[in-house]
Amino acid sequence: MSRELLLLVGFAVTNRAVCVQLVERGRPVVAADDAPDDHARRLAAELGVDLLERPSPEDWPSLVAGVQAVVPTPGLPESHPSLGAAAAAGTPVISEFDLAQRWDDRPTLAVTGTNGKTTVTLLAAAMLEASGIPVTVAGNTETPLVEAIRDSRPSAFVVEASSFRLAHSRCYRPTVGAWLNFAPDHLDVHASLDSYRAAKAALWSRVDEKTISVVNRDDPVVVEYAPDRGRVVTFGLDDGDFRASGGALWVGSEKLADVAELHRPHPHELANCLAAAAVAMAGGAHADGARAALLAWTGLPHRMVLVGERDGVRFFDDSKATTPHAVCAAVRSVGQSPGQAVLIAGGRNKGLDLRPLAEAADQLRSVVAIGEAAPEVQQVFAGLCPVVVVESMEEAVSAAAETSLEGDAVLLSPGCASFDWYGSYAERGDHFSRLVREMIGGSP
């Protein structure tokens, strides 16, 4: 193969955008996909690009030999034979972030972390826009960064930086890089927890004197990896350049907002607000813009959304919580006192150890276990609180309602992916919410 050729492994949203850009720039490219759909085939034909379907493990050494670089689709498991073949051949593996930075020199503000990435990315973008700085959100969203740079309007990009992209970035260096938190996740993609941690840490692996790193003072893993070069900005609930104190959010000695003014005052939401302000102001936002966005922010769907209340019991949709770390934070935020939460948890495990869920046990009245991981959930809470295993979301809502008492909170916070019963966490949350609303509407 030609030394100028780039090999795209996987031909879904991101690599399709990469392919379009490469073709427009006159670069030779070939794509390979283990299970291409009709859209992939049509696009490849329209672009005049060869699409190799379902290569066998034995095919990969010859495919990667001689190409300039391999561009894996985000989320390609580290065990995929293409990556092993590339390593054996000494062929570089790069990300869409690398390509975007080569093609566009506008600033990027990158946000990574196990939980809260989307919230912080969107809220930081709102703060920048409120400060008169046009930005576009890209990365681990509907718009890959290589697609976003086609737009001449933004003066900067706020990038949701997943471990999937960071792990394969060889030269990407964001202008601002924020690491929110770290907890086990995506072990169905990464070879180990160490590999996942290293992927996150790659965000700061190329900092220089011009970059700004945003560090969560409350997370020991993040603090351990904090850069010793460039400018470092910290945030934390009790301490940091951006902090919560005396019922308000502060940057230095300047108040950004009173907590009572915010729509989402849960502790982990406050941490997200502080992180977003740190990112946005590092990127040029002013305090007034940050405050305006904070006061307008009502949160995102399926993230601690109050669906309704019946007989003094509140029902929350937190379907986006797909790690034990996120579940424990959610349970702590809704429990008015110990033992006043009913947790609906389970789904398809992402290769994670679910035992940390037990940290929430003292806040729970009971647990309703759902999906493929129901036996694991049941085992985690055995002897700690009552657990009932159900076979559908209808049964889950009914069981949670029957178990709960006045003053309780029922929380769909699964700690697992949705792909056993649903096509996405949004579909799962929508079904739960619809069932709750039907139950409330049908009650006397």
Percent helix, strand and coil across the chain, each to the nearest 5: 40, 20, 40
Mean per-residue pLDDT, 11-24: 97
CA–CA separation, 421 and 197 (whole Å): 29
3-state SS assignment for residue 402: helix
**pLDDT for residue 236 is more than 60:** yes
DSSP structure class, residue 73: P
Q: What is the pLDDT of residues 393-406, one digit of tens each?
A: 999 999 999 999 99
How many CB atoms lie under 10 A from the CB of residue 128? 28
Annotated active-site residue 186? The verdict is yes
Q: What is the pLDDT of residues 367-419, one digit of tens each?
A: 999 999 999 999 999 999 999 999 999 999 999 999 999 999 999 999 999 99
Catalytic residue among 186, 190, 302, 325: 186
Instruction: Give the list of residues 6+ apart from residue 100 with CB closer than 8 angstroms, or none.
Output: 108, 145, 146, 148, 149, 172
**pLDDT for residue 339 is more than 50:** yes
**pLDDT for residue 429 is more than 70:** yes
Catalytic residue among 80, 117, 302, 320: 117
User: Which amino acid is located at 334 in the chain?
Assistant: V
3-state SS assignment for residue 362: helix
Helix 267-282 with 324-334: angle, nearest 10 deg: 110
Helix residue ranges per DSSP H, 248-391: 267-282, 287-296, 324-334, 374-381
3-state SS assignment for residue 255: strand
pLDDT band, residue 338 (cuts 50/70/90)? confident
Q: What is the pLDDT of residues 239-258, one digit of tens each?
A: 999 999 999 999 999 999 99
Catalytic residue among 15, 140, 216, 272: 140
CA angle 194, 196, 199 (to 5 degrees): 110
pLDDT of residue 336: 64
Q: Are 158 and 140 in contact (CB under 8 A)?
A: no
Annotated active-site residue 117? The verdict is yes
CA 25 to chain centre: 31
Give the length of the chain.
Answer: 444
**pLDDT for residue 2 is more than 90:** no
CA–CA separation, 432 and 430 (whole Å): 5
Q: What is the pLDDT of residues 343-372, one digit of tens each?
A: 999 999 999 999 999 999 999 999 999 999
pLDDT band, residue 443 (cuts 50/70/90)? very low
Annotated active-site residue 15? The verdict is no
Query: Cβ-count burial of 235 within 10 angstroms (0-12 exposed, 13-18 middle, 19+ buried)?
Result: buried
Structure tokens at 399: 């069981």
Q: Are 222 and 244 in contact (CB under 8 A)?
A: no
What are the chain's domains? 6-93 (3.40.50.720), 97-296 (3.40.1190.10), 305-442 (3.90.190.20)
Structure tokens at 37: 């759909």
